[in-house]
Amino acid sequence: MADNEVSLIERDEIERKEILKKYKSLLRSIRHDLTNEQKKLIRSAFDLALDAHKDMRRKSGEPYIYHPIAVAKIAASEIGLGTTSIVCALIHDVVEDSNYTLLDIKRKFGDKIAKIVDGLTKIQEVFDHTDSMQAENFRKMLLTLSDDVRVILVKLCDRLHNMRTLESMSRKNQLKISSETLFLYAPLAHRLGLYNVKSELEDLAIKYTQRDAYKEISQKLNAKKAARDRYIKKFIEPLRDGLDEAGLVYEIKGRPKSIYSILKKMNHQGIPFEQVYDLFAVRIIVDSKPEKEKADCWTAYSVVTDRYKPNPLRTRDWITTPKSNGYESLHSTVMASDGKWVEVQIRTKRMDEIAEKGYAAHWKYKNSMDGIIQSKSEGVDGWLARVKEVLENPSSNALEFLDDFKLQLIHDEIFVFTPGGDLKKLPVGATALDFAFEIHTEVGNKCIGAKLNNKLVPISHVLTNGDQVEILTSEKQHPKEEWLNSVVTGKAIARIRNYLREHKRIAAEEGKEILKKRFSKEKFTFNDDNVQKIVKFFKIQSQLDLYFNIQKGLISQDKLDIDSILNFKPNVNKLVKPIKVKEKASASGSKNEIIVGEDNDLSYTLSKCCNPIPGDDIFGFITIGEGVKIHRTNCPNAVSLMSNYGYRVIKAQWKENLIKQETKFLAIIKIIGIDDVGVVSSLADIISKNLEVNMKSITIESNEGTFEGTISVYVEDTQHLDLMMKKIQEKHPTMQISRVDINK
Ligand code: MN
């Protein structure tokens, strides 16, 4: 008993020292000079937080106060925020977690700080209050955010620290918090230009949501580090000579790319780690006088391209036209002496600080750079104004709004020009047709093509930075269904859909008249019942579709034999169905392969959208009326499910000793390759004969010499599936083979 008391006192003493040590380290990390008043303010925030959290501990067992101190330190040293934000960071959890009220904060620290703390508390409530519609809450949250951007900056520091200490949380919370991070916080950090924060958030999030991929990439990166360092050193040497000769003051270094961006590349291009060539970028940071910034950067550029051949398609000048989040840099991809491409980023010290620290750093330079460089913070202010506009628009429903908002967040931009020289910003991947709709709906509707830098291009042509685009129109033109495949902007998609809907309605009116005439010619009554019989006969969705198909000639007049249809005399050939090879009726879920939550016999089904198989990382999602559905953690729906309905997520894991062969799981793979007569039978042979895997179906579509095939198979687990894909690859080395993440 006595021993215990002593050790408790000892522990308290050790912790008290540790708290003070952390607080002092926070003070040292503040890089602006503090007035006495500011010092007092920070101290009293610390004292308040210390008192408010005095009996609380984190999940890890540490005193709670470690957390607000760490958040304040991130705000000060990693984002470079000022006193107000540091104070808010220290007390951000006080109102949420203790008896202190917002009024107490207001009395002690004034209106401004109280308002920010209020915003921070509200965000907290949004995420903890788990039984309400999350999307609507996101919207409310963002509405408060746009009042004072410091709310989101401090929140990002808070989130970053929580992600850094996520290890001690339950698996369920790890998934929920990581998904929210990918869904909202990382894109927000990106939009505010906080590149370091964004990358770290993303890396930490996939560490928990895609554990195997994360482990594989980080291990492989570590294994190759020494060789990579040598390579970078050799690459840099000739550049140093040139930069010295040019008389520049500079720093040059190789920077590894984030694990997240490498994984994204692997998934996007369907390649293994070994084939990702740009695992790092080389960065040249020049120390320039304000008036010489641009000239110095281009001098450095010419030093680089004198020594290494640049890829003309991959030069990006974000110095002349900065991104709207304020990012300025000159990028070029050049060929090293061994024939490998290396990305080189050139920027000044000021640009580098802004790129790393984002929004906050703008203000530091805003005044000193006025008159020399246009205020670069316009982009961020403009963005916040736009967000506010969307938020205050009551007509958009919350989920739609979130989609729009995310579209705005995640897309990188390109800059293109009208013939008159007006600059338009469009997302990467935007086409000539997107541009046309950006100008005006009527220009979009009548677009037949474009002149790009005086060359004719089709409407589907993907624009690149700096293009000057002249839209060509024709009065005879109108939007078509296929156009939806040629646009990426929300605006263009909405306008095309609108037109098609309206057009279909008008065409259907005409189709209805045609059918009516037909009825009267054959002396049948035109009524709902009879029309419905015809709808059924042609296996069409609705009467509207029937009328439309008739008007369009998709159902030809000679097939419209009313008499024989109404009297059930089928005379139409069935459509050709996809080849079905062999079907085994062991779909999923009935046997107990998975432990859901802590419970051994909770019933569940495997989700059809991502078809999890043993070996996949999975989670359970409680549905309304359909029990628990099991998804893969990398299911494209997962991020949105987990972040919007976190409270319905439940831990799930495969049982360890699954009896193999008893149950098989459905997996879908996609194969792309060169068209070849024997391809179907060759694939069927490998799969069914050599591997004895049961195929459910195989469909192959070919187009201009290439084909795309989808094969559904029943396998035991991920290993089994991997083996099968490997076997196909061995037999057909040129094919691109990948597992389908989502079953559309
Ligand atoms: Mn917190």
Q: Ligand 1 centre from 353 Cα, in Å?
A: 26
Count of C-beta atoms within a 10 Å radius of residue 350: 21
Going from the Cα of 63 to the center of ligand 1, the distance in angstroms, rounded, reads 13
Provide the pLDDT for residue 426: 85
Higher-confidence residue: 207 or 541? 207
3-state secondary structure of 222: helix
Between the CA of residue 96 and those of 77, 105, 144, what are the distances in Å? 25, 12, 17
Q: Give the Å distance between the CA of 458 and the centre of ligand 1.
A: 52
The Å distance, Cα 92 to ligand 1 centre, comes to: 6
pTM of the shown model? 0.59
Nearest to 478 by CA among 492, 457, 462, 499: 499
pLDDT above 80 for 364: no
Separation of CA 98 and ligand 1 centre (Å):
13
pLDDT digits (tens, 9 = 90+) for 546-566: 898 888 887 877 777 888 788
Helix (H, G, I), strand (E, B) or coil at 496: helix
Report the distance separating Cα 232 and Cα 190, nearest Å: 27
Q: Give the Cα separation of 148 and 161 in Å (integer).
A: 21
Comparing CA positions, the residue from 379, 386, 413 lying closest to residue 401 is 386
Q: How many CA atoms lie within 13 A of 56 on its CB side?
A: 18
Determine which of 13-22, 250-259, 528-537, 619-628 has the lowest per-residue pLDDT on average.
619-628
Q: Decide: helix, strand or coil at residue 701.
A: strand
The pairing of beta strand 455-457 with beta strand 447-452: antiparallel
Helices 195-209, 349-357: crossing angle, 10 deg rounding: 40
Lowest mean pLDDT among 104-108, 189-193, 319-323, 559-563: 189-193
**Structural contact between residues 279 and 257, judged by C-beta atoms closer than 8 angstroms:** yes
Reported confidence tier of residue 312, pLDDT bands at 50, 70, 90: confident
pLDDT by residue (tens digit) across 466-506?
A: 788 999 988 888 998 889 888 988 889 888 988 988 888 89
Q: Report pLDDT digits (tens) over 633-661.
A: 888 777 777 776 777 778 888 877 665 55
Report DSSP letters for 182-210, one per residue. IIIIHHHHHHTT-HHHHHHHHHHHHHHHS
In the annotation, is 381 catalytic? no
Per-range mean pLDDT, top range of 204-218, 568-582, 727-741: 204-218
Q: Which of 15, 62, 96, 278 is catalytic?
A: 96
- Please choose, from the candidates 716, 730, 709, the residue with its C-alpha nearest in 3D space to the C-alpha of residue 667: 716
What would be the CATH architecture of the domain defined by 219-369?
2-Layer Sandwich (3.30)
The CATH architecture to which 3-209 belongs is Orthogonal Bundle (1.10)
Tell me: pLDDT of 59 over 80. yes
Question: In the CATH hierarchy, which fold is given to the domain comprising 664-740?
Answer: Alpha-Beta Plaits (3.30.70)
Residue 203 known to be catalytic: no
- Asked whether the beta carbons of 119 and 144 are under 8 A apart, the reply is yes
Q: How far apart are the CA of 154 and the centre of ligand 1, in A?
A: 9
pLDDT at 609 over 90: no
Instruction: End-to-end CA distance of the chain: give it in Å, rounded.
Output: 64
Given the residues 15, 18, 62, 97, select the one marked as catalytic.
Answer: 97
Q: Give me the residue spans of the domains in the chain.
A: 3-209, 219-369, 498-568, 594-659, 664-740
d(CA 660, CA 294) in angstroms, rounded, equals 64
